[in-house]
Structure formats: structure tokens, C-alpha cells
């Protein structure tokens, strides 16, 4: 006997993600799922962002890695609302990881939550975690072909970051090719070029967060984004 289903394969994950989203929005937390390959600078960018926004804004971080507490230790210098998730063999975070991690931080006292996904340009893209936005990160040292080779992250991300711009003169990276690949896949893509280490482009990134946050929060959250000078600069 055949039973018709026609449902998203990741439906069960999506149901948990919807609960996460409901909880986070009710608490007025704007949530960013940061995706990118290993070593592209996700942790460095979150560190640089925390330096800018804390303590004016209450920021939490859930960070996923196969092993070690090292990223959480780095973030903990800036905020005590940090949870390290070790996935063991898992190459991405799923909604249930985030749901468990959310019980270990004070969601009701956060304005902004970063979820740093496991370093991977492929697997994390399809898994909804309950975030408001997915941000995809590439880097100049990773090669100019990475956007073309990973169309899903390009198509699904609300924002694309090109990190390590300070190293551009040192590496064979065709910036025009990289950008044209992105716009071919997603003509309306938003791209910010930055360097988490030198700080170049960080203003644009902070501004983008500030633009997004009230937009999402106005759907039902208690929006106080403009109360923070960094996020209210515009």
C-alpha cells in the first residue's frame, strides 16, 4: 500500500526550529546563524562584533564545533552568555542542538544571539535553527571559486560576507569573478567585504545588523534596537 506524504524531509527539524523561533522572538532576541567554512573567520568576526557591541547590547553566542571548548573560551572574554555545542561527528547544528543550548543561556536577557555553525559550507545551509537570518561567510584565502561551488549557501543567505580583505594583496583571488558568480546565482545578493582582524568593513556589518534587527523585531518583538548607539548610527 502506498501512503502519500509530500512533506519537507527536514520537517521534524523545522518544527523544532519553529519553536526556537517563537521563543526567541517572544524574548525580543534577534538571531543570526553564521555559516562558513573552517578557518574563514567566523569566530574572529563574532569576537570583533562583541568588542563593538558589548556591554551596550546584551549579546549571546551559541557556538558549534565537532570538538573542544576553544571558541566558547574566546567568546567568554566578552560575554558570559556563551554555550559551546560539541556535535561529535555532526557536521552542522540542528534545531535540537540550539533548543538544548538555549536552556543554558538567559534568553530573556538578550538582545542579539549569534549561532556560529560548525565550519562547513554545505550541510548547515538546509537546517533551519530558528534564526532570523542566515549569514554566509567566505574569505579571500579560501579561493575565488567557493561561491560558484557552493550555490546553496549563496542562495539561502540573507547576507554574504567576504572576510580577510586585508590579505587580498597576498593571495590570488579574483574579486570580480567571485562577485559575478554570486550575482549570477542571486542577482539581489547583499555582499559586505570586511576584515575581522583589521576592522575594515566592520561598520557596514554593524550597520547591517542594526538595519535588520528592528525590521525583524517589528513583526512582534519588543524592539529597542535604536536604543543602542552602535546600532542606531543610521
Give the binding site for other proteins (CB under 8 A). 1-13, 89-92, 94, 122-123, 125-126, 150-152, 155-156, 184-187
Instruction: List phi, psi (to 5°) of 169.
Output: -65, -20
Which residues face 36 on adjacent strands? 120, 137
Q: How far is the CB of 124 from other proteins (least distance, A)?
A: 8
Residue with smaller CB distance to other proteins, 155 or 232: 155
Instruction: List phi, psi (to 5°) of 183.
Output: -70, -25
Q: How far is the CB of 129 from other proteins (least distance, A)?
A: 14
184 to 36, 173, 179: CA distances (angstroms): 20, 18, 9
Residue with smaller CB distance to other proteins, 1 or 219: 1
Instruction: Say if CB 116 and CB 37 are below 8 A apart.
Output: no
Q: How far is the CB of 142 from other proteins (least distance, A)?
A: 17
135, three cell numbers: 549569514
CB-based contacts of 218, cutoff 8 Å, min separation 6: none
Q: How far is the CB of 25 from other proteins (least distance, A)?
A: 24
Residue with smaller CB distance to other proteins, 4 or 103: 4
Q: How far is the CB of 178 from other proteins (least distance, A)?
A: 15
Instruction: List phi, psi (to 5°) of 65.
Output: -145, 160
Residue with smaller CB distance to other proteins, 64 or 221: 64
Residue with smaller CB distance to other proteins, 126 or 214: 126
173, three cell numbers: 583571488
Amino acid at each position: 500500500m502506498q501512503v502519500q506524504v509530500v512533506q519537507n524531509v527536514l520537517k521534524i527539524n523545522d518544527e523544532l526550529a519553529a519553536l526556537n523561533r517563537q521563543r526567541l522572538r517572544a524574548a525580543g532576541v534577534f538571531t543570526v546563524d553564521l555559516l562558513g567554512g573552517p578557518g574563514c573567520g567566523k569566530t574572529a568576526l563574532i569576537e570583533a562584533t562583541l568588542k563593538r557591541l558589548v556591554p551596550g547590547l546584551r549579546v549571546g553566542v551559541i557556538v558549534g564545533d565537532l570538538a573542544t571548548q576553544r571558541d566558547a573560551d574566546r567568546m567568554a572574554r566578552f560575554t558570559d552568555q556563551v554555550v559551546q555545542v560539541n556535535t561529535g561527528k555532526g557536521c552542522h547544528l540542528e534545531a535540537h542542538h540550539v533548543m538544548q543550548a538555549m536552556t543554558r543561556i538567559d534568553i530573556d536577557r538578550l538582545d542579539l544571539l549569534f549561532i556560529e555553525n560548525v565550519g562547513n559550507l554545505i550541510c548547515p545551509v538546509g537546517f533551519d535553527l530558528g534564526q532570523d537570518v542566515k549569514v554566509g561567510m567566505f574569505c579571500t584565502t579560501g579561493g575565488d571559486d567557493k561561491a560558484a561551488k557552493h550555490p546553496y549557501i549563496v542562495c539561502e543567505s540573507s547576507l554574504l560576507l567576504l572576510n580577510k580583505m586585508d590579505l587580498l594583496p597576498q593571495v590570488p583571488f579574483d574579486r570580480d569573478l567571485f562577485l559575478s558568480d554570486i550575482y549570477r546565482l542571486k542577482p539581489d545578493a547583499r555582499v559586505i567585504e570586511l576584515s575581522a582582524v583589521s576592522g575594515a568593513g566592520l561598520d557596514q556589518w554593524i550597520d547591517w545588523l542594526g538595519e535588520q534587527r528592528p525590521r525583524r523585531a517589528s513583526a512582534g518583538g519588543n524592539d529597542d534596537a535604536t536604543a543602542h548607539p552602535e546600532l542606531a548610527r543610521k
